[in-house]
Every structure is written in structure tokens, then in C-alpha cells.
């Protein structure tokens, strides 16, 4: 009985704030918790304020101006409610631009990530077996990595100007090469043909971004223990089996992250379309995307209120894509678990 009573007293003391001999709130456990969180809050206050001012506030202002008829050139505007969003529903150019964004969103990640995975695998694992090395990349892989990464050192503006000259039907490199090898019948007005212009822009975006993902996936593959590859190769697995059964599952998180980043780049595409194509949207709006349409409405047509509504629509599309991409990845993890 005495031992039970002592245990109860000890348990009661453990559940109440302990006080120093002098007593008072400052000696209690609650005060120590308060001091800890006050210290943490002091460090978080300034970053949170800056985040609210420079990130949250612009989003709120954008939505506010999307409810107005603001021209962007004066302080005079009036509230129009959801009229700008109602106009979006009946705007054929908006829907065409949105469809082009969807096409780029599907094609660009598939091509860029697919090529990035293939090149990274060949540079790290896909080479011939060498003496003393069970797993190796193709010969000269270090040089190839530099070549693939080279577009990353160029700005988007330089890349767009470079390729617009390559696609130039009068004296451009592409038509010149076709003519030199006897394929002059294949010469095209690449950026002037509504059926080819968007594909040409996507090709440039793939060329500009694939090198980054070669380096990214190479780093992820380099972290895979070589013993795993050696065991698989001893079992007689080929390159395809090694890639799909070993490499891809082990770097899936990196691929998923790259998919999200590549999707966001695809939903932008502003600089490529604005610099490369005529009328900043191609012939018959064949390369028009939402960021370019937003720019034209805001700075060319003086419809800043309507342009911000387009921006809100682009934000919604981007968020939906990010949520779906991350959600599908987590769902796949749960299924496999």
C-alpha cells in the first residue's frame, strides 16, 4: 500500500508543472515551453512577413484586379465582378492557347525526361563491360555530359534567337542542310507553317532542357550501389531489364520531382513563343499559349483586368497539374506498400 501511494504521488507530480524551490511561473515547465516557442517565433516572424508581402500579397492583388476593368495605364478603374471570367468562357483564342499549353504539358515532359533518362542511363550504366569494371557508362561519357549540359549555360533569349535563325526559311541552317544533302523537297517555312510551328517550339524547349535532366538523373543513378547492378548483370539481365526493373524504380522520386518542374516550364513557354514566332503567337495563333496571351492583353491591348483573369486561370491550371502529379506519386507509393 505504501509503495502504491508513493507511485501515485510521483505520478501526480509528473503531471503538474514543477517549480523551483523559490516557486513562481518562471520556474515551471510551461514557462520553458513558452520561452522555446518565443525563440522560434522570433526567427520565423521576419521570413513569414516577407513571404506574405512578396508572395501572398501579389496573388491577392491579382485576383482583385481580375474583378475590375483596369487598363493598366491609369489609376481609374471600376469593379465588374466576374465579367472577365465570363468573357474567358466565350474567348476562342483563350481556349486555343489553353489547348496549346496542354499539348506542351504532355509532350515536353515525356520527351525531355525520356531523353534525359536514356542519356543518363547510357552515360552511367549502359556501356560495355570493361576490365575491372562490371558497370560503366559509354566511352567518352564525361565529354557527352558537357555537350548535353551546354544549352544550360545559354539564356532562354539567346536560345530562342539562335533557333529562330536556324528555322529561318531564307538562308536558315536547317533548310540549308536539307538542300546540301539533296533533300530540298523537305524544306519548310518551319515557324510560318501553322501545322509545324508548335512542334518546332517544343523541339527547341526539349533541346534547351534535356541537358539539365541528364545531369540530375546521372547524380541519382550514381547514388545507386554498384553491387545491385553487378548482381543483376551476373544474372544475365540486359540493358532494358536493368533500366526498367532496377534503375527507374530506384530513382522514381527524382523523376517525379523532375516531372513537376518540367510541367511548370511547359505551362510557361513565354520567352520561346514570344521571341521565335511571328506576331507573338504564330500564324493563325498556332503557337499561342496562355502567358503570351496574357502579355498581349495587358501590354498591347490595354486590358490589364482581363489579363489578370487569364493569369488566375493559368494559376489554377498549374496548381491542378502539381496536385495531380504529386498525388499520383503518393498513391503509387501506397499501392506498392
Tell me how far CA of residue 139 lies from CA of 123, 128, 148, 227, 266, in angstroms. Answer: 8, 8, 15, 21, 33
| Predicted pLDDT of residue 35 | 72
Residue 249's Cβ-side half-sphere holds a number of Cα atoms within 13 Å equal to 9
Contact 260, 72 (CB under 8 A): no
- The three-state secondary structure class of 128 is coil
10-residue stretch averages of pLDDT, the chain, 337 residues long: 47 46 59 72 84 90 92 88 92 94 92 92 73 65 83 91 92 91 89 91 94 90 84 78 86 88 87 86 87 92 92 90 75 50
CA separation for the pair 101, 26 (Å, rounded): 60
CA separation for the pair 212, 149 (Å, rounded): 6
What is the distance in angstroms between the CA of the first residue and the CA of the last residue of the chain? 50
Contact 104, 289 (CB under 8 A): yes
Contact 254, 264 (CB under 8 A): no
Contact 254, 308 (CB under 8 A): no
| Predicted pLDDT of residue 19 | 47
User: Sign of the C-alpha dihedral, residues 294, 297, 300, 303?
Assistant: negative
Q: Helix, strand, coil % (nearest 5) of the chain?
A: 75, 0, 25
Work out the widest C-alpha separation in the chain, in whole angstroms: 105
Among residues 265, 310, 318, the alpha carbon closest in space to that of 292 is found at: 310
| Predicted pLDDT of residue 27 | 61
Residue 315 cell numbers, joined: 494559376
CA separation for the pair 24, 31 (Å, rounded): 10
Among residues 198, 121, 140, the alpha carbon closest in space to that of 167 is found at: 198
State the DSSP string of 26-40: GGSHHHHHHHHHHHH
Could you tell me how many residues make up the chain? 337
The segment(s) of the chain belonging to CATH 1.10.3720.10 are 84-336
| Predicted pLDDT of residue 110 | 92
CATH 2.70.98.10 fits 84-336, yes or no: no
In the chain, DSSP finds a helix count (H) and a strand count (E) of 16, 0
Q: Which residues of 304-316 are buried (b: 16+ CB within 10 A; e: fewer)?
A: bbbbbbbbbbbee
The model's pTM: 0.79
| Predicted pLDDT of residue 20 | 47
Amino acid at each position: 500500500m505504501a509503495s502504491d501511494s508513493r507511485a501515485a504521488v510521483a505520478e501526480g507530480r509528473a503531471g503538474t508543472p514543477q517549480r523551483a524551490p523559490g516557486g513562481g511561473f518562471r520556474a515551471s515547465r510551461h514557462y520553458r515551453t513558452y520561452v522555446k516557442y518565443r525563440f522560434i517565433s522570433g526567427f520565423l516572424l521576419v521570413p513569414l512577413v516577407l513571404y506574405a508581402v512578396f508572395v501572398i500579397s501579389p496573388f491577392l492583388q491579382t485576383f482583385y484586379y481580375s474583378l475590375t476593368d483596369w487598363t493598366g495605364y491609369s489609376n481609374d478603374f471600376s469593379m465588374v465582378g466576374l465579367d472577365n471570367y465570363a468573357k474567358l468562357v466565350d474567348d476562342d483564342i483563350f481556349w486555343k492557347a489553353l489547348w496549346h499549353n496542354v499539348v506542351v504539358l504532355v509532350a515536353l515532359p515525356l520527351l525531355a525526361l525520356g531523353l534525359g533518362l536514356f542519356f543518363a542511363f547510357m552515360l552511367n550504366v549502359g556501356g560495355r563491360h570493361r576490365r575491372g569494371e562490371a558497370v560503366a557508362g559509354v566511352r567518352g561519357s564525361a565529354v557527352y555530359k558537357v555537350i548535353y549540359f551546354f544549352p544550360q549555360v545559354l539564356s532562354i533569349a539567346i536560345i530562342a534567337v539562335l533557333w529562330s535563325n536556324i528555322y529561318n526559311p531564307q538562308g536558315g541552317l536547317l533548310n540549308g542542310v536539307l538542300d546540301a544533302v539533296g533533300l530540298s523537297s523537305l524544306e519548310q517555312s518551319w515557324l510560318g507553317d501553322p501545322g509545324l510551328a508548335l512542334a518546332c517550339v517544343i523541339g527547341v524547349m526539349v533541346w534547351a532542357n534535356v541537358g539539365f535532366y541528364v545531369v540530375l538523373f546521372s547524380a541519382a543513378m550514381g547514388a545507386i550501389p554498384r553491387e545491385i547492378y553487378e548482381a543483376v548483370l551476373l544474372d544475365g539481365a540486359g540493358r532494358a531489364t536493368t533500366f526498367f526493373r532496377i534503375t527507374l524504380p530506384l530513382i522514381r522520386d527524382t523523376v517525379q520531382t523532375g516531372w513537376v518542374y518540367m510541367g511548370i516550364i511547359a505551362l510557361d513557354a513565354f520567352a520561346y513563343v514570344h521571341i521565335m514566332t511571328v506576331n507573338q503567337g504564330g500564324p493563325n495563333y498556332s503557337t499561342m499559349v496562355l502567358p503570351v496571351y496574357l502579355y498581349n492583353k495587358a501590354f498591347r491591348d490595354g486590358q490589364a483586368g482581363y489579363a489578370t483573369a487569364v493569369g488566375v486561370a493559368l494559376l489554377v491550371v498549374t496548381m491542378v497539374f502539381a496536385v495531380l502529379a504529386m498525388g499520383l506519386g503518393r498513391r503509387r507509393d501506397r499501392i506498392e506498400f
